[in-house]
Chains A and B, each alone.
Chain A
Amino acid sequence: MNSKKILLDHGSGGAASRELIETVFLPGLANPILSLFEDSAVLTVGSTRLAFTTDGYVVDPIFFPGGDIGKLAVHGTINDLAMQGADPIGLSLSLIIEEGFPMDDLERLAGSIAEASQFSNVPIVTGDTKVVPRGKADKIFITTSGVGVVPDRITLGSGSVQPGDAVLLSGFMGDHGVTIMSAQAGLSIESSIVSDTAPLHAMVSALLKQAPEAIRCLRDPTRGGVATILCEIADKSKVQIEIDEKNLPVRPGVNTACEMLGLDPLYLANEGKCIAIVDSDAAEELLSVMQKTIEGKDAQIIGTVQAPESKTRHGRVILNTIIGGTRIVTPLSGEPLPRIC
């Protein structure tokens, strides 16, 4: 980015965010753990490996069909831990509240956070509350951090994927992104489309129990969507990933909204989905484990991992389209913008 000020693009989770981190933060902060760019860091204490992560939540609107900023903050951090295979043991909760924020809304959020924590069976173990003058923050911002224990023998990473592996997606793409974007745009989309916000650690635990050795990598495709995450994995593992459009689970209502807004579901945010890249021999059994859970009941095998065509062509993601064509999938570059006509 040439501009000297921060733009919204820098927070999109795409190429601009990556560039910001690489140019502003990494020069001073780089270390072997941070530089892995995984959803959470794995720290070793004695013989125990702890996963540790943090995430800020600034979603607008704060209440949306299927959830709210509080639920999102609990689930999102649990999921970042789960993507390293960790069993979450506790979360922190930090709130920045704008002066004048309705007490009713705060109580509603507190209730929702408590419910999410109880349902997930992950306690909030520490917290902080700050209030800033009106106009200095937009309603409420929440930050949660989390710690989890990584089971023995489990090492997951975006760089561990191998040719021949299968790519699983745990359910419908884009529900959260479409819910938020249509709320922002004031569109009354299909009422059946609600945010997919959900904790994934129970599903992950079931997968790890079934075939611990077969799972190479778990990622939750939040900002940037399935496309951006697959591109990252292909890049880090130096492989080519091929996905089939006909197997990509997308709800018809999400497709319709995407057609209207000029969006591609591959780039929409998900808040309760997981991409699992696994040894192809175990793909079917792991798929059926996923499908037996509530969060993963609509899971599909969406593609395969291949050796790159040549050394210079690794890192590519290829989509076989429904009509039988092929094209390259690239990572998200900026905030997805609605089209003009």
Chain B
Amino acid sequence: MLPEKISEGFRDRELAKKLTERIHENVKGPLRIMEVCGTHTMSIFRHGIRSLLPIDVELISGPGCPVCVTSGGDIDQIIELTEVPGIIIATFGDLLRVPGSKGKNLATARAEGARVEIVYSPVDALKIAESTDQPVVFPAIGFETTIPVIAATVLEAKQKNISNFMLLIYHKVVPPALNALLSDPELALDGLLCPGHVSAIIGEQAYEPLVEQFRIPCVIAGFEPLDILSSIYMLARQVRNNEARVENSYGRVVSREGNPRAREIIEQVFEPCDASWRGLGDIPGSGLKLRKEFKNHDAKLYFGLTSNYVPEPRGCRCGEILTGKVKPPECSLFNSRCTPTNPVGPCMVSSEGTCAAYSKYGEI
């Protein structure tokens, strides 16, 4: 049984008005804020938050949509795997329409006869594996929010000795990517709206090195409109007072130390590796791979897969969009050749993709 009205109180019109007034009072010049997380991007659009902000506030969407930052080579790997006879791909729905470099996606592969099952949790993929002898492969895409659940599923598979359950690990961790972004002088950010769910795992402490190294104001935000407005207000106030520190407006979920137990499980199952991000390129230590005691669940090893470099589709500017350098309407494919029905790049596919948000909610 779910609680009723999860969001009650966080969408209050009067409080929103007061926060908006405070933001207007505190913004004294151009303010470039990056919302790192795709769920923030969606929420900002869905609640019409941009329409409330001073014209000087620019919200820039960051690389916080896990499907979007998965490299073209990795996407091709998943799609190609559907050709293995008897294989079952069990995936979250977001991946279904992401196009590979050869024009196929999991939905078209399914229409051609591949077995692609939509699951809502990796545990469901494990259940499918228990019910068959065929290999069941789960593409594991996601940040710190998703990783602990995947790790726990791997532990369960090992404990139950379900050897036909395998994963394609494309996990990425957020702090190294933020470091890479902030090192980019072109971006010139004034503040970071830090992801709420990821922070629940990594804690406030994870942003302290960034503040120290780059003197960038960081505010951890929840996903309700008042969470986001109050976080923008806190960022504006820090900038106005010439401060740079970590503030947490999502204290009901995020603590300073995060969730050590979840991090322990991640550590137990995975070890860091380098990863290739769409838009950001190779970032040392930003990926994860299965530790050797779990190697028999690694689909890349089992099927002998290698990830090739795949250039971006012609004209697609997802890479620049993911790093906040251009906005979707600046891409010549946006809403013409690239639409949610017929996406060219991943940012148009994922429900958390920046282009999908711009296309779905538009700009007044």
Per-position 1/0 for B107-144, Cβ under 8 A of A: 11011100000101000100000000000000001110
Query: Cα distance A326–B16 when bound, in Å?
Result: 13
Cβ B46 vs Cβ A9 within 8 A: no
Comparing A50-58, A116-124, A182-190, A286-294, the segment that makes contact with chain B is: A182-190
Contacting B at CB under 8 A, from A244-287, are 246, 252-253, 255-257, 259-260, 262, 264
Contact A15-B341, Cβ < 8 Å, known A5-B112, A324-B13: yes
Q: Is A155 an interface residue (CB 8 A)?
A: no
Q: Is B26 an interface residue (CB 8 A)?
A: no
Q: A323: which of B47, B97, B363 is its contact (CB, 8 Å)?
A: B47
Cβ B50 vs Cβ A325 within 8 A: yes
Q: Is A24 an interface residue (CB 8 A)?
A: no
Q: B1: which of A15, A188, A334 is its contact (CB, 8 Å)?
A: A188
User: Which residues of chain A are near B20, meaning CB under 8 Å?
Assistant: 324
Per-position 1/0 for B68-103, Cβ under 8 A of A: 000000000000000000000000111111000001
Cβ A5 vs Cβ B6 within 8 A: no
Cβ B16 vs Cβ A341 within 8 A: no
Q: Is A338 an interface residue (CB 8 A)?
A: yes
Query: Cα distance A252–B3 when bound, in Å?
Result: 9
Cβ A256 vs Cβ B6 within 8 A: yes
User: Which residues of chain A are near B308, meaning CB under 8 Å?
Assistant: none
Cβ A325 vs Cβ B51 within 8 A: yes
Q: Is A6 an interface residue (CB 8 A)?
A: yes
User: Which residues of chain B are near A185, meaning CB under 8 Å?
Assistant: 120
Contact A189-B6, Cβ < 8 Å, known A326-B51, A334-B341: no
Q: Is B309 an interface residue (CB 8 A)?
A: no
Query: Cα distance A3–B105 when bound, in Å?
Result: 10
Comparing A62-70, A83-91, A314-322, the segment that makes contact with chain B is: A314-322
Specify the chain B residue showing the minimal Cβ separation from A330: B360
| B204 nearest CB across to chain A (Å) | 20
User: Which residues of chain A are near B17, meaning CB under 8 Å?
Assistant: 324
Give the most central of A190, A246, A327, A340: most B CB within 10 Å. Answer: A340
In terms of DSSP, what is the predominant structure of the interface of chain A? Answer: loop
| A254 nearest CB across to chain B (Å) | 10
Q: Is A191 an interface residue (CB 8 A)?
A: yes
Contact A323-B4, Cβ < 8 Å, known A337-B94, A340-B66: no
Query: Cα distance A58–B260 when bound, in Å?
Result: 47
Q: Is B311 an interface residue (CB 8 A)?
A: no
Contact A252-B16, Cβ < 8 Å, known A324-B52, A328-B363: no
Cβ A327 vs Cβ B342 within 8 A: no
Query: Cα distance A333–B341 when bound, in Å?
Result: 5
Q: Is B181 an interface residue (CB 8 A)?
A: no
User: Which residues of chain A are near B226, meaning CB under 8 Å?
Assistant: 323
Q: Chain B contact residues (Cβ within 8 angstroms of A): what range?
A: 35 or more
Q: B93: which of A15, A264, A337 is its contact (CB, 8 Å)?
A: A337
Q: Is A19 an interface residue (CB 8 A)?
A: yes
Specify the chain B residue showing the minimal Cβ separation from A14: B341
Q: Is A2 an interface residue (CB 8 A)?
A: yes
Specify the chain B residue showing the minimal Cβ separation from A316: B362
Contact A340-B107, Cβ < 8 Å, known A264-B46, A330-B359: no
Cβ B143 vs Cβ A341 within 8 A: yes
Cβ B2 vs Cβ A318 within 8 A: no
Per-position 1/0 for A1-34, Cβ under 8 A of B: 1110111110000111001000000000000000
| B198 nearest CB across to chain A (Å) | 9
Cβ B111 vs Cβ A5 within 8 A: yes
Specify the chain A residue showing the minimal Cβ separation from B350: A340
Query: Cα distance A35–B341 when bound, in Å?
Result: 22
User: Which residues of chain A are near B46, meaning CB under 8 Å?
Assistant: 264, 321, 327
Contact A252-B4, Cβ < 8 Å, known A7-B108, A324-B52, A325-B48: yes
| B249 nearest CB across to chain A (Å) | 16
User: Which residues of chain B are near A209, meaning CB under 8 Å?
Assistant: none
Q: Is B361 an interface residue (CB 8 A)?
A: yes
User: Which residues of chain A are near B110, meaning CB under 8 Å?
Assistant: 7
Give the most central of B97, B107, B364: most A CB within 10 Å. Answer: B107
User: Which residues of chain B are near A8, meaning CB under 8 Å?
Assistant: 107
Given contacts A256-B4, A333-B360, 14 further A-B contacts (CB under 8 A): A7-B110, A188-B1, A191-B1, A323-B225, A324-B17, A324-B20, A325-B225, A327-B46, A328-B362, A328-B363, A330-B360, A330-B362, A338-B94, A340-B92
Binding site for B on A (CB under 8 A): 1-3, 5-9, 14-16, 19, 185-191, 246, 252-253, 255-257, 259-260, 262, 264, 318-328, 330, 333-334, 337-341
Binding site for A on B (CB under 8 A): 1-7, 11-13, 16-17, 20, 39, 45-52, 66-67, 92-97, 103, 107-108, 110-112, 118, 120, 124, 141-143, 145-146, 197, 225-226, 229, 339-342, 350-352, 359-364
- 3 A-B pairs with least C-beta separation: A325-B48, A337-B93, A328-B362
